[in-house]
Amino acid sequence: AGPFLSVRDLQVRFRTEDGIVKAVNNLTFDLERGKTLGIVGESGSGKSVSNLAVMGLHNPRNTTIEGSVTLDGKDLLHASQRDLEKLRGNKMAMIFQDALAALSPYYTIGRQIAEPFMKHTGASKKEGRERAIEMLRRVGIPQPQTRVDDFPHQFSGGMRQRAMIAMALVCDPELLIADEPTTALDVTVQAQIVDLLKDLQQESGTSIIFITHDLGVIREIADDVLVMYAGRAVERGTMREVLKSSQHPYGWGLLSSIPRINASVDIPLMPIPGTPPSLLNPPSGCAFNPRCTYKELVPGDRCVTERPPLEMANGHLSACHLTAEQKQSILTEQILPR
């Protein structure tokens, strides 16, 4: 059998009034059972869009999708809406940054957790309620027997996020896509939510795709990492490899923006200067070139004329024209000592 989730040459295009947005281009990755893939990039890099396409949650009226996506051998891109609906919640589930938007203000937390469970298993109301209490306990909500009857506004932000995780996991999905699930939370709660996901994964063997703009958030949970820029993968490797030897100037920027919790001196964070490019008219050559401080090191105009392919360099995949020797010396002399 192939990998649990396999995405091949995924391409997502939106029709807009201003033209065609090339949101995702030639995206390829695998995810094994029980593993976590981190997808890192700024907003507009295509990380959410590609995962909505995997879940079949894109708008078919203005979106075209090409390539292939298989989950446990099942072709998702050509599955019927009916099949996808069955799979969502049951075999695959998603959590988002904004729990308030995902939860209805009009129903109790318990009812919202119980609903997908009752729908997919045919459980009774009473069984659904018991399951909701059990799920609230699993995600660390104190006094779940009483909190089950609360409405979302009676929960704190961190507790709502936990409730949304409970709702997503209530049917024991095999794939969980977490899209910036901690971004709206303070740092302590962020770490708690990441720990919670890790624990739940260990209990149930769920495969996780964790989408974030902050490499630091996923360093403890991701086995592999995919760095996206302007709708393309620019780096892909194990978390360990990317942390210790990123081979891309954008990856170096992400590394330099991780807060050093254990640093003995205060090292200032280095955000990546500039803004992400428009996907209506992406820059020619390497899409990162308008923001790249290393492009002068590449002979000729290659960074603006020729798109670098994703290829093996120093142990993992990256897309940059710098030579392996150049990358290694920049990494060891400038990036890692920061």
Residues forming the site for Mg ion (CB under 5 A): 48
Specify the residue, 7 or 322, whose C-beta has the smaller distance to ligand SF4: 322
**Residue 206 interface partner, choices Mg ion, ligand SF4, none, CB cut-off 5-8 Å depending on type:** none
286 contacts ligand SF4 (rule: CB under 6 A)? yes
Pairwise CA distance, residues 241 & 243, whole Å: 5
**9 burial via Cβ count (<10 Å: 0-12, 13-18, 19+):** exposed
Part of the chain binding ligand SF4 (CB under 6 A), chosen from 128-136, 210-218, 261-269, 283-291: 283-291
**Residue 294 interface partner, choices ligand SF4, Mg ion, none, CB cut-off 5-8 Å depending on type:** ligand SF4
289 contacts ligand SF4 (rule: CB under 6 A)? yes
210 contacts ligand SF4 (rule: CB under 6 A)? no
5 contacts ligand SF4 (rule: CB under 6 A)? no
Site for ligand SF4 (CB under 6 A): which residue of 116, 200, 294, 331? 294
Site for ligand SF4 (CB under 6 A): which residue of 171, 288, 316, 317? 288
Specify the residue, 138 or 295, whose C-beta has the smaller distance to ligand SF4: 295
Specify the residue, 41 or 253, whose C-beta has the smaller distance to Mg ion: 41
Pairwise CA distance, residues 184 & 176, whole Å: 19
The tokens of 213 are what?
């703009």
Site for ligand SF4 (CB under 6 A): which residue of 231, 308, 310, 331? 308
**Residue 48 interface partner, choices ligand SF4, Mg ion, none, CB cut-off 5-8 Å depending on type:** Mg ion
Judge whether 319 and 303 are in contact, CB under 8 Å. Answer: no
Q: What's the alpha-carbon Rg for the chain, to the nearest Å?
A: 21
Specify the residue, 98 or 130, whose C-beta has the smaller distance to Mg ion: 98
- With left for phi above 0 and alpha for psi between -120 and 50, is residue 73 left, alpha or beta? left
Pairwise CA distance, residues 203 & 216, whole Å: 24
Q: Classify 93 as helix, strand or coil.
A: strand
Part of the chain binding ligand SF4 (CB under 6 A), chosen from 1-9, 149-157, 210-218, 316-324: 316-324
DSSP state of 88: B
Pairwise CA distance, residues 263 & 276, whole Å: 29
Pairwise CA distance, residues 307 & 311, whole Å: 12
Site for ligand SF4 (CB under 6 A): which residue of 94, 303, 313, 331? 303
Neighbours of 126 (CB within 10 A): 9
Give the count of residues interacting with ligand SF4 (CB under 6 A): 14
Pairwise CA distance, residues 176 & 206, whole Å: 7
316 contacts ligand SF4 (rule: CB under 6 A)? no
Judge whether 95 and 181 are in contact, CB under 8 Å. Answer: yes
The angle at the Cα of 175, spanning 109 to 165, to the nearest 5 degrees, equals 20
Site for ligand SF4 (CB under 6 A): which residue of 47, 88, 160, 321? 321
Part of the chain binding ligand SF4 (CB under 6 A), chosen from 62-70, 208-216, 239-247, 291-299: 291-299
Nearest approach, Cβ of 327 to ligand SF4 (angstroms)? 9
Judge whether 33 and 92 are in contact, CB under 8 Å. Answer: no
Nearest approach, Cβ of 319 to ligand SF4 (angstroms)? 7
Pairwise CA distance, residues 163 & 181, whole Å: 12
320 contacts ligand SF4 (rule: CB under 6 A)? yes
Judge whether 52 and 58 are in contact, CB under 8 Å. Answer: yes
249 contacts ligand SF4 (rule: CB under 6 A)? yes
Using CB under 6 A, list all residues that contact ligand SF4.
Answer: 248-249, 286, 288-289, 292, 294-295, 298, 303, 308, 320-322
